[in-house]
Amino acid sequence: MTVHHQADTSAALLEQVNHALHSGTPLRIQGGNSKAFLGRPVEGEVLDTRSHRGIVSYDPTELVITARAGTPLRELEAALDEAGQMLTCEAPHFTDDATVGGMVAAGLSGPRRPWSGAVRDLVLGTRLITGFGKQLRFGGEVMKNVAGYDLSRLLAGSFGCLGVITEVSLKVLPKPRQCISLRLEMDSALALKKLADWGQQPIPISGASHDGRALHLRLEGGEGSVASARERLGGELLEAGYWHDLNEQRLAFFADSRPLWRLSLPNNCAPLNLPGEQLIDWGGAQRWLKSDADAEHIRQVVAAVGGHATCFTAGRCDSPFQPLAAPLLRYHRQLKAQLDPKGIFNPGRLYAEV
């Protein structure tokens, strides 16, 4: 295995947190800042995790990798790639500076998500600096160890509001033996109907997106199953780079100057009637929307079908994340109070009240 930069600076991070606790200074936690556009702006002293980096342990036979939070995500992925393994969640980077801690804190997953699980499903254990000025360990480094599992999973998508993630252990899997992508000309309504039908059948789909003109499918698995699915589905071969460009928001669709919204919907939801352009991902469960429509209208339409909407364009909406119902907000506040009683970690990043 390639040996990369290793540096354990957890003591310095802990000291900075304790100093902030004593002086009541809010902290703005960041790694590579590649997801800085997401959520509400945070005022505070910067706590930068990037000095605390390096792969702590990785034994490919165990299917687990442990890395410090400031480790560049590309470094971790390169180590896995060398061993023929991968993170199945396909977390987007957005910039070259994305870190492992930021990947967990943002909790964003790529096109493979409905078939292989989210970032939170891969988190086996974490180390966390809490609002009590202690570094604690949750979960474990082996799949059998489930003690404290849930707090580790809770950190996925918490955007630094519950503490400073210093280390994370992730479940990894071998890369599929065969991978091909197909493009099938059809409209989005037919594509969604076909995907619902195929979902009931043993077709090795690991990516399904509709760009407004055609359905794009990725097939992954053993050579036999991929070949027979390809024969059955037809269509033309698609450049494999499509999935990376979709995940990193590099397709022409994303260049549109209107605000970008991410709509999370029940799987078999029909096309939504909203102003603007839509791009379908996750076989229909995630839709990207480029629209000038106001936040309230978008959220009403999406809520009516049981979904929620997040604004991915900084500064366009006071509540970028879907506002919470009162009982849920109460849980969020209680959890924040338990782990960060002085409210110093990324205050207001998720919601003004947390």
Q: What is the pLDDT of residues 119-131, one digit of tens each?
A: 999 999 999 999 9
Q: How many CB atoms lie within 10 A of CB 305?
A: 12
User: Which pLDDT band holds residue 2 (cuts at 50, 70, 90)?
Assistant: very low
Architecture of domain 10-175: 2-Layer Sandwich (3.30)
Triad 305, 333, 128: Cα angle to 5°: 105
CA 214 from chain centre, in angstroms, equals 25
Diameter of the chain measured on Cα atoms: 66
- Alpha carbons within 13 angstroms on the beta-carbon side of residue 120 total 16
Per-residue pLDDT reduced to its tens digit, 302-329: 999 999 999 999 988 889 999 999 999 9
Mean pLDDT of 105-122: 97
Residue ranges matching CATH 3.30.465.10 in the chain? 10-175
DSSP letters for 171-231: E-EEPPSEEEEEEEE--HHHHHHHHHHHTTTT--EEEEEE-SSEEEEEEEE-HHHHHHHHH
User: Which pLDDT band holds residue 268 (cuts at 50, 70, 90)?
Assistant: confident
Please tell me the predicted confidence (pLDDT) of residue 287. Answer: 98
Please tell me the predicted confidence (pLDDT) of residue 187. Answer: 96
Looking at the chain, the whole-number percentage of residues with pLDDT higher than 70 is: 96
Q: Which of 322, 324, 330, 319 is nearest to 352 (CA)?
A: 319
pLDDT at 4 over 90: no
Whether the full predicted model's pTM is greater than 0.85, yes or no, is yes
User: Contact 144/90 with Cβ under 8 angstroms?
Assistant: no
pLDDT at 35 over 70: yes
* Secondary structure class of 277 (helix, strand, coil): strand
